[in-house]
Amino acid sequence: MKRMIQWRGLMLDRRSRVGLLLVLTLPLSACAGQGGIPREPFPDVPLPASFIPHSDQWVRIRTGQADVARLIYMTELDVEGAAAAVRDLMVKNGWTIQLTNRTATPDGYKMIVVDFGKEADTIRVTVREGAYATHVELSVARVTLR
């Protein structure tokens, strides 16, 4: 005996319910993936051309007082090369290096953290070696002047 469920006057068996669910979720999931990370969301925060946005982990929050973001990129450059490329571009755009720290992740991958400052704004760039690519994360905190 098939178990039937009534939905808005329609009698639906399990197979029909699964099909209906797929028909309703596929268009929604297609829309969700279209809001990818902007290539360079801040005009004075340039990025090397070799950095590829990794859009499933980024976030940006804007309020009246601040604009904060966590931007994730991947690159084929090694850790030292990626850190140097970011450092050169940031300094050319008026950012000051406040701290550089070289370390390793708990699983032994190389990691470089560079903090930049410009007026009241700060950016922390974390460059981490990965198994297949170098992972670059920018944590941006900007004060919105009124």
- 12 and 66 both lie in a single domain: no
Do residues 71 and 18 both lie within one domain? no
> So what's the pLDDT on residue 54?
84
Residues 30 and 56 in one domain: no
pLDDT of residue 23: 41
68 and 7 within one domain:
no
Q: What is the pTM of this model?
A: 0.72
Identify whether residues 17 and 63 lie together within a single domain.
Answer: no
Task: Give the percent of the chain with pLDDT over 70.
Answer: 73
What is the pLDDT, as a whole number, of residue 9? 52
Give the pLDDT confidence score for residue 33 in this predicted structure.
Answer: 36
| Confidence label for 78 from pLDDT (cuts 50, 70 and 90) | very high
DSSP summary character for residue 145: P
100-112: pLDDT as tens digits: 999 999 999 999 9
Does a structural domain hold residue 83?
yes
Lowest model confidence (mean pLDDT) among 42-51, 98-107, 134-143: 42-51
Q: What residues make up the domain containing 63? A: 52-143
Domain containing residue 83: CATH number:
3.40.1000.10
Per-residue pLDDT, averaged over 25-32, amounts to 38
Statement to judge: residues 134 and 71 lie in one domain: yes
Whether residues 121 and 75 share a domain: the answer is yes
Report whether pLDDT(24) > 80. no
Are residues 72 and 138 part of one domain? yes
How many distinct structural domains can be found in the chain?
2
Residues written for the chain: 146
For residue 18, being part of any structural domain is answered with yes
DSSP string, 59-128: EEEE-SSEEEEEEEEEESS-HHHHHHHHHHHHHHTT-EEEEEEEEE-TTS-EEEEEEEEETTEEEEEEEE
Q: Specify whether 21 is located in the same domain as 90.
A: no
Does position 86 have pLDDT exceeding 90, yes or no?
yes
Percentages helix, strand, coil for the chain, rounded to the nearest 5? 25, 40, 35
Same-domain pairing of 18 and 69: no
Q: What average pLDDT score do residues 71-99 get?
A: 96
**Residue 43 placed within a domain:** no
Residues 67 and 4 occupy one common structural domain: no
User: What is residue 42's predicted lDDT score, i.e. its pLDDT?
Assistant: 87
Q: What SS3 class is residue 42?
A: coil
First CA to last CA distance, the chain: 68
Residue 94 shares a structural domain with residue 137: yes
Asked whether residue 41 is domain-assigned, the answer is no
Q: Does residue 126 carry a pLDDT above 70?
A: yes
Is 29 within a domain? yes
